[in-house]
Structures are given as structure tokens and as C-alpha cells.
Structure 1
């Protein structure tokens, strides 16, 4: 079994914030300014000790020429940041209204977005610090610092900012295109599946439960659990923990979240900070969240206000891709073991039937008047039928029968019914 990653929850929590990377950029700008200004000071001192006053004068002239650039950068960069990100937030709001409010998470987690914002702020702060280092006296014999290296560094930061700005605009435009949005959601969902690649599928026979641990703190969605910490606590108490709610469930204070099997019961203090509750679901440990978002986008596309069945077909493409990957994978329970290979934490995963229902049930209810969607769903069910074993074909047969009934109930003409139920991977071409 895969060993748990102790820093994984912290890393994912930082990815879900928008302040951390810009804050690191500001600190980096201060450190960089201190380093390059120190280098400038050392260079001037070395030249003055060698009597190279002519060289110092040349550096002063170059630094004075660069001062206008640095002043312009310092005054314009903050305004540029405000205008660019204001326009981008408007575009993002339009995208979230067209697809799903959950796509805002893609923007928040985007590395290029955070890097662009961090470099913009770092360039602004660096320009201010370099501008403050200029001395009024330009005597090559008495000047202490000539911001020559600092000026070059500031120009380099401006060039990097322009490159990142182009990449950022391209990334933002991609977030407004449904094909790229559903592709990004699918890749995030597969990243979660890779973490659960070694799930056993069947929960082991556990000793009798000796205690239950209730949720402490505020109510909210169970975002993730600190797997490594729970494994350590269970090992110290010679027990096995079973996580009662699934990742993504809404929990309220006082409800059981862990059952303790065998060994001794850990204290409430030991279990504090082992679970994270938030206001919305995250990708980190939630294998069904990707399907939830794809289904939401398809439902919104099929609403009478939008009426975009092609987008629903694109979502069905990715839902089929996701289900095809897990068609032969073990599901049901994920076992986390300690260093000796003993099971210490049992985490329930969605079953195959749960994921099939999540992917098809709500979309199937909106096929009325959309033969493009019903044809694509029939093709998806046929493809999954050949990939799944006999036991996992049961929910697929159920959805196929319900789809046929829905079309027969809502389409009066026999020819139209036959057309709507003909499998087609492109819907209607």
C-alpha cells in the first residue's frame, strides 16, 4: 500500500488559497532587493578602492538612465495589476455563470495565475526599494551605492512580468472555453484516482468497535483528513480507525466521524487537527468531485435558459472516460497502513454504482427533446458495458432501461424514438 504523505494536506490547503504565493513573492522581492543592493555597494567599494572613479561615473550615468524606467515601473505596475485582474475577474464571473460556480476553484488553484500575481507584486515592490536607494549626490568618490545591478534586475523582472502576462491571458481565456474547463476537471479527477490506485476494494474484518469519536468544531464539508497523523495515532493506541463519513460529506458537531476498533481510545486532544472542514468540496481526497462538476456543467447546459446540448455531450465524453478508467479498478474501501504493513485506517470510497449514478442519473433526466444527448449516452453505456465485468454491468443495464423508457415516454413518433436511441459517440455528428 502507498505510504501516506504527511505534508499533503498542508500543500493542498495552500493551493486552495490565493494569498500564499503573492506573499512569498513579496518576501522574495525584499530579499532580492537586499541582495542586489548589497552587490551594488560591494562593486562600488571595490572600484573606489582601486581608484576606478571613471568606471564609477559610467555606472552612475547608466543607473541614472535606468532610473526613469524604474520610476515608471513603480508608478504604473500597481495600476496595471488592478486593471488586469479586474477584467479577469469579470471574465471569470461570466465563465462561472455559464458553466458552474465550482469552476472558480480552477482559477484559484491555477499556478500561472498565482505566479503572475506574485511576480507583478514583486516587481512593484522591488522597483520601489531600488528607487529609494538612489542617492542625491552623484560624486564617484563619495557615493556609497550605485543601483546598476538593481536596475538591470528590475528590467529583467519587467520582462518576466510581460511573459507571464501573456501566459496568464492565455490561461484565463482557456478557462472561458468549455472544452478546456472539462479537460482540466478531468485531469484533476484522474490525479485523485492516482492517489487511490492501491485501494483494496474490500474492507477488512475489523475488531469490535470500542469507541466513537465525534466531530469537534464547526459544521461544514469534510474536505480531507490528515492520513499520516491518524495512522500514527492508531499505531500508538494499537487500534484501527474507520472513517465514518466520506470525503465531501457535510458533517455537524457531535456526529461520529471515526470509529475505534481494538486497542485503546485516543484522547480528543490527540484527534484535534486530524480533519479539515470547509465550506466546499475539494479535489484533494474526493474522487467523486470531478464527476459532480461535470454533471453540474451538463445540467446547466441542458437548462432551458442555456439550451446547449453540445456542451452536455462534451461532459458525457469525459464522464465516460473517467468511468472507463475505473471500470476494472477495486473500489469500496481504501486501506492505509503503517510502516509495518498493518492496517490502521479504513476510508470508505464511492462504489461503482455510486459513481455511475452520479455521472448519468441527472443528465438522463434532461434528455427530453435532446436526441444528441440520448444518443451519446447510449454510446457511453455501450462502451462501458464492454469494459465492465458482469457484476458492474447491473447499474449500466438499469440506466439503459431508464433511458429507453424516458425517450419512449417523451417522444411520440417511432422514427424519432429510434433516432434518439441510436448510439452515437458524437451525439449527432
Structure 2
């Protein structure tokens, strides 16, 4: 196998972790990191205050009032600094919030509304907000610790450690602010957005089980029970695989997920089919399926291709007319399909520790993924030779990688694209130019 083909192979697969859905749901929220930071800084402040009280108590026991007098003067200067920091942090928070809103608005309008999730999931953005809010809360707490007495003999506590801790938080805030601006500027560039989408998609590919081709799926037998969806209507974001495996093993059954991840589910419709026994109790299956208002990367194999296709479509719209962006999106579409070209698809089989299949989960098939990546873009590519040339080159590359049984959808899209170019481009020379494969579109 050539080095290029090895480079396109999918990443190593890993066993799904029990808490992975909960972790992914927290990544899709913006409140957790700032809240955790403010709670943590309160705990740290309590410890620092106790340490300051112990330092002052030790100096009073030793009778070192000269040192206490110097610490009082230091505390006066520190109080002025902490007061300035407290007022400045609110300004910093407002600047960061304004930058985020502008970046999200620009990305949503120019790329696709679905890329807003990248900003919500950005670790540096959450860390910046969290540290800024924690620093502001810390300054307020430190200001309450300053003693109003001027006599060293009457001093009970001085915020010495707390002041140093505040300065450290300010330094960390400034560092994170620089990193945040750099990260936000990168996310406003389409090439980095497309790369982030591809990276998130490859994580989904890596989390898929290594076996699961529908051809080697075991016979499940007839359906013995149905489990309806009892939550609210919405998009099926993910399922708790580890918990479903435990429930299925405990009750000696095989569970088969009816909707695919990313499907819209309605209350009362079948969610799980049970094979080999009675349905597990409702309490055991509670919170094993997560339903939300929009799709997520977690367990959704087609969501990355959906976003890349949306970006390419918007770039080819008459209002934007940016074929280079469409070519960049096609680069990643070809990369993802190349990684999936030899992967088992259609059905994902999840086994328990004993190797017995306990959960059968539908995933998009090869033909569906190829259609998702190329069908809509192909409809807009005929009038842009840069895009048609890149798509033909990508299809030719995939034909080299895909096994014989998976070449039919690629050949179909190639033929349809050539037909669309023939209908759209009147000049024979322009048609020949538009149908010449080129990995850079027009290099």
C-alpha cells in the first residue's frame, strides 16, 4: 500500500467511555466552565485567607511588630492595585463578550449557522471567560479581607497571599486574552473552521467500533418487544452506549436502535427494538438517549459532512460566489470519505466484555455518505470550473481507494457531474477545461 493510501487510513479506534455522553454535553454548554471556576476560586480564597491569618498570628506571637508595620504598608498598596484590577476586569469581560458576538455573527452569516457550535465548544474561549470571572470574584473577596486598623498590635489578618494570588490571576488573564484573540481570529478564517470540522469528524470515526459491517452481523431473530421514545420531540443527539450494554447484558437481550443518530424523533415512536427477551424496565433505560434541538458531533457520523457541504453550498451561492472556499470544503470531504472508504458502515455492533453483541446501532452507509458529501455541491459545481475540476479529482482519488463494491456511487456522481457540465457550458473548449481533474481546482 502506498504512503498516500496509508495517510488516508482512519485513525485508531477506541472503546467508548462510560461518561463520554455527559462529557460531550458539557462541552456543548457555556455555563459549566465559568461556574466551576468561580466556585473553585472561592475555595482557593478561603484557603489563602486561612494562610494569611496564620502568618499574621505567628508574627504577633513572636512580637515582630516591625514586620507587621511593613506588611500594613504593603497591604495599603495592594488594596489600590486590587481595586484597580476589580474595575478593569469588568471592562475586559465586556471586550471578550463583544469580540465573541461579532465573531459568531460573522461566522454564522458567511459560513453556516451550524459552525456556531465550534465557538461554543472552544476551550480557549471558555477558559478566558472562566478566568476573567474568577479573577473578578477573587478581587471582590480580597477587598473584604483588608483590615481597617492602622496599629500593628491590633491587626488580625492581612491579605498577603490573597494579593499575590490576585496578581497571578491577572497575569493568567492577560495571557489567556492574547491566546483568545489569536484563537478567535483563527476561527474567523474559513480554512481553520473547515479544519476544525474535519478534526471533530475524525474523532467520531475513531470512536466507531472496529467491527460492524452488516454482512457479518449476527442473526438477531424476531423482535420480542419495543421501547418507545418517552421524552420530548427533537434530534437524537447520542445514546449512552456503555449503559445500554450493561442493561442488555443484565437482562440477556440484544437492543437495536431504530432511529439513526441525527434523526428527529417524536414521542411514542419506537426508539429501541428488543431481541431475545422482554423489554428492560423503563427505569433502567432512563436517560440512555439524549434528545436536543440540533445535531452534535458526538456519535453522528454524517454531521461533519453535512457542515462541510453547507459551507460549500453557501460559498457557491450567487450572493457570496467564493469557489475557493468550496474547494477547501471539498478537500476535507474527500479526506473524510477516503478515511471511511474501507470502514465497516451501515451497522455498528457494540459488544459487551464477553464479546457478545448487545447493541446494534444504525450508521450511514457508504452510498449515503457519498451522496451527502457530493450531491448538493455537484448541483452547483457545473458553473464553476474550479469546483468541477476539484470534485472530479477527488472522485478519481476515491475510486483508487474504495473497494470494487463501493465504486458505484462514485462513478454515478462523476457521470452526473460531467453531464451537468455538458449542459451548462456551451463552449467545447470550456467544457474540456472544466472536466479536467485538478486537486487545486485551477492550480
How high is the TM-score relative to the length of structure 2? 0.95
Q: Which residue of 1 aligns with 2:248?
A: 234
8 Å CA contact 1:60–1:148 kept in 2: the answer is no
8 Å CA contact 2:225–2:277 kept in 1: the answer is no
- Measure, in 1, the Cα distance between the counterparts of 2:218 and 2:101: 48
Q: Which residue of 2 aligns with 1:106?
A: 118
The answer to whether the aligner puts 1:78 opposite 2:93 as a matched pair is no
The answer to whether the aligner puts 1:378 opposite 2:418 as a matched pair is no
8 Å CA contact 1:238–1:264 kept in 2: the answer is no
What secondary structure does 1:114 align onto?
Answer: helix
The answer to whether the aligner puts 1:296 opposite 2:294 as a matched pair is no
Q: Among 417, 421, 426, which residue is 2:431 paired with? A: 417
Q: Among 288, 294, 305, which residue is 1:274 paired with? A: 288
Q: How far has the Cα of 1:212 moved from its partner?
A: 1.1
Q: How far has the Cα of 1:419 moved from its partner?
A: 0.2
Q: How far has the Cα of 1:57 moved from its partner?
A: 1.4
Per mean C-alpha deviation after superposition, the further-off stretch among 165-174 and 202-211 is 202-211
Q: Which residue of 2 aligns with 1:131?
A: 143
Q: Which residue of 1 aligns with 2:420?
A: 406
Q: How far has the Cα of 1:359 moved from its partner?
A: 0.4
Per mean C-alpha deviation after superposition, the further-off stretch among 73-82 and 374-383 is 73-82
8 Å CA contact 1:239–1:263 kept in 2: the answer is yes
- Gapped regions of structure 2 (runs ≥ 5): 1-12
- Measure, in 2, the Cα distance between the counterparts of 1:177 and 1:98: 10
8 Å CA contact 1:3–1:336 kept in 2: the answer is no
- Measure, in 1, the Cα distance between the counterparts of 2:379 and 2:150: 78
- The two structures, once aligned, show a CA RMSD in angstroms of 1.2
Q: Which residue of 2 aligns with 1:176?
A: 188
What secondary structure does 1:365 align onto?
Answer: helix
Q: Which residue of 2 aligns with 1:91?
A: 103
How high is the TM-score relative to the length of structure 1? 0.98
Q: Which residue of 2 aligns with 1:43?
A: 55
Q: How far has the Cα of 1:337 moved from its partner?
A: 1.4
Q: Which residue of 1 aligns with 2:223?
A: 209
- Measure, in 2, the Cα distance between the counterparts of 1:341 and 1:399: 39
- Measure, in 1, the Cα distance between the counterparts of 2:124 and 2:95: 18
Q: Which residue of 1 aligns with 2:212?
A: 200
- Measure, in 2, the Cα distance between the counterparts of 1:244 and 1:16: 25
Q: Among 345, 348, 354, which residue is 1:331 paired with? A: 345
Q: Which residue of 2 aligns with 1:314?
A: 328
Q: Among 268, 279, 303, which residue is 1:265 paired with? A: 279
Q: How far has the Cα of 1:34 moved from its partner?
A: 0.7
What secondary structure does 2:176 align onto?
Answer: helix
Q: Which residue of 2 aligns with 1:20?
A: 32
Q: Among 61, 73, 95, which residue is 1:61 paired with? A: 73
**Deviations 1:348-394 (Å, cap 9, x if unpaired)?**
11111111110000000001320000000000001001011111111
8 Å CA contact 2:240–2:289 kept in 1: the answer is yes
- Measure, in 1, the Cα distance between the counterparts of 2:193 and 2:142: 41
- Gapped regions of structure 1 (runs ≥ 5): none
- Measure, in 2, the Cα distance between the counterparts of 1:291 and 1:232: 32
Q: Which residue of 1 aligns with 2:4?
A: none
The answer to whether the aligner puts 1:392 opposite 2:406 as a matched pair is yes
Q: Among 254, 257, 280, which residue is 1:243 paired with? A: 257
- Measure, in 1, the Cα distance between the counterparts of 2:323 and 2:16: 42
Please identify runs of 4+ aligned residues in structure 1 that moved more than 6 A.
none
- Measure, in 2, the Cα distance between the counterparts of 1:241 and 1:165: 48
8 Å CA contact 1:3–1:337 kept in 2: the answer is no
- Measure, in 1, the Cα distance between the counterparts of 2:253 and 2:286: 17
Q: Which residue of 1 aligns with 2:381?
A: 367
